[in-house]
Amino acid sequence: MIIAVDGPAASGKGTIAKALARHYKLPHLDTGLLYRAVALTVRRLDLDAEKEADAVAACGFDDLTLADPALRTDEIGQLASVVSAHPLVRAALLQRQKRFAHQEGGAVLDGRDIGTVIAPDATAKLFVKATPQVRAQRRHAELKMHGSTVSFDKVLADIRARDARDSGRSAAPLVQAPDAVTLDTSFLSIEASVQRAVEIVEAARAG
């Protein structure tokens, strides 16, 4: 069983994907971490994220990079949105994600293009969303917890800029797959969001 969880930044898709992986005892991949690892490698090698060749050169990162706490910083998140717009970067990471999705027994993956590009054959597809204001509040609270002093307005502006980049890029843009079920978490608790996600997956399995 493959479960595809897509949606914009800070929509709650990562939390939901992890909960679904626990519930169904499946391996989980946050595909955004791959792009964050490229971004972090670009930064550490002093390369230019805007240049496709530089970003591609950073795609050979070691798997240990995926556990680096620096991946979670807002700066790397912004850079990840830049490098992920390069078609050759997406191509370089495509097979890595497809292999994970199609391993024996299945998997849960979350990202921007799981249901449309990585696993269009997924058993269940969820598109998790929330309003930009709610997503900015969540991200702002998370950053504050990690000691950041960035303002709410800056976080909201960054969320909107990322949405525009992710939806407007030519390579695998953020779009809802026609057969994905929308899950709006704007006014749902984590528990209610996860419960609804399980219901969506069960309906897909039954159908």
Residues β-bridged to residue 94: none
Q: Mean of the pLDDT values across residues 56-85?
A: 92
Distance CA 149, CA 146 (A): 9
Distance CA 149, CA 172 (A): 33
Cα-based angle 72, 73, 76 (whole degrees, multiple of 5): 95
Q: Mean of the pLDDT values across residues 175-185?
A: 96
Distance CA 139, CA 141 (A): 5
The closest alpha carbon to 90, from 59, 62, 67, belongs to 59
Q: Mean of the pLDDT values across residues 154-168?
A: 91
Assigned superfamily of 2-206: P-loop containing nucleotide triphosphate hydrolases (3.40.50.300)
Q: Are 26 and 106 in contact (CB under 8 A)?
A: yes
Q: Which tens digit of pLDDT belongs to each residue from 100-155?
A: 999 999 999 999 999 999 999 999 999 999 999 999 999 999 889 888 899 999 99
Looking at residue 12, what is its pLDDT? Answer: 95
Looking at residue 165, what is its pLDDT? Answer: 85
Q: Are 126 and 103 in contact (CB under 8 A)?
A: no
Mean pLDDT score across all residues of the chain? 94
Looking at residue 201, what is its pLDDT? Answer: 98
Q: Mean of the pLDDT values across residues 80-98?
A: 93
Would the pLDDT of 174 be above 90?
no
Q: Are 111 and 32 in contact (CB under 8 A)?
A: yes
The residue ranges of every structural domain in the chain are 2-206
